[in-house]
Amino acid sequence: MTGNMRTFILMAALTALVMGMGGLIGGTSGAIIALVVAGAGNIWAWWNSDKAMLRQQGAHEVTRAQAPELVDMVAALAQRANLPMPKVYVLETEQPNAFATGRDPENAAVAVTQGIMRVLSRDELAGVIAHELAHIKHRDTLIMTVTATMAGAIAMLGNMMMFSAMFGGRDNRGGALASILAMVFAPIAAGLVQMAISRSREYEADRIGAEICGKPMALAGALAKISRAAGQVVNIPAERNPAAASMYIVNPLHAMRMDRLFATHPATEDRIARLQAMAGGAQRTAPWG
């Protein structure tokens, strides 16, 4: 099964959860209303999520005059990927990391930390930027925004059911037992689906990013360095806004030792192994730089 098909199935599962929760609250009308509310939230997030993400993470835009090597690198890789030139941002944190945001390729941004520019070699940084451009090319930033909004809608519906039960509201359509199960397990299931989508998109971005830069092992080396440092250097803006963790190339949160089931990113070792397999096969593009 391809990554795109897996993402489609998981997003369909999220949609079913939204409608199911709405149905338990208000029957067919409730399911339709829940879907409309989630859709309205997605439209708002589509227009505003990139600005909110950059602001929350303390990113500032840089020009070619301020960071010529970085901006030129992004421009060259964007051209290789047949993408419009994204805006370039820098985050003032020593944790090496990066993310992309934006509702579409014409309104996209790539953000890197000060730490990543100090820690990585030129080829490794190019691999990271190519990875982020792959997210933009395949509109992963939009997909993750939609899934986050739908997961939030499911959590909201669960809270509505809980308050209705606490304050003596009428029984929900699905009965008391179904309501309790929905309140407890639906938000957990939504979170797990959201994480599964995030992990699937990371694998795809690694593959496409390696093709864009033409150096899979440079990206593999970057992932190894970033993963080691991310657990040692605290990224304060990310810690304050943990919901944005899935947008980074490697989990930026300091408390990274968690069960893989609840991880927003695939295991770094698995990602490196796939890139090593790519490097051992026929190289699809000429190396960048």
Q: Give catalytic residue positions.
A: 132
- Do the Cβ atoms of 161 and 184 come closer than 8 Å? no
- Asked if the structure places residue 286 within a domain, the reply is no
In this predicted structure, which of 100-109, 183-192, 207-216 has the lowest mean pLDDT? 183-192
- Do the Cβ atoms of 88 and 61 come closer than 8 Å? yes
This prediction's pTM: 0.75
In this prediction, residue 170 has a pLDDT band, given cuts at 50, 70 and 90, of very low
Work out the mean pLDDT of the chain and round it to a whole number: 79
Range of the domain at 265: 3-280
24-38 confidence digits (pLDDT tens)? 666 777 667 777 776
229-259 confidence digits (pLDDT tens)? 887 888 988 888 776 777 899 988 875 444 4
- Asked if the structure places residue 289 within a domain, the reply is no
- Total domains in the chain come to 1
- Asked if the structure places residue 74 within a domain, the reply is yes
- Asked if the structure places residue 287 within a domain, the reply is no
Which SS3 state, helix, strand or coil, does residue 96 take?
coil
Give the other-Cβ count within 10 Å of 268's Cβ. Answer: 18
- Asked if the structure places residue 285 within a domain, the reply is no
Rounded-to-integer distance, Cα 147 and Cα 99, Å: 17
Q: In this structure, what is the dihedral angle of CA atoms 222, 228, 229, 230, given to the nearest 10 degrees? A: 100
Task: Please state the residue numbers annotated as binding site.
Answer: 131, 135, 202
48-85 confidence digits (pLDDT tens)? 667 878 888 899 999 999 999 999 999 999 999 999 99
Task: Please state the residue numbers annotated as binding site for Zn(2+).
Answer: 131, 135, 202
Angle between helices 122-137 and 68-80 (to 10 degrees): 50
- Asked if the structure places residue 42 within a domain, the reply is yes
Rounded-to-integer distance, Cα 167 and Cα 161, Å: 10
Which residue in 224, 273, 249 sits closest to 99, CA to CA? 249
Model pLDDT, residue 3 = 47
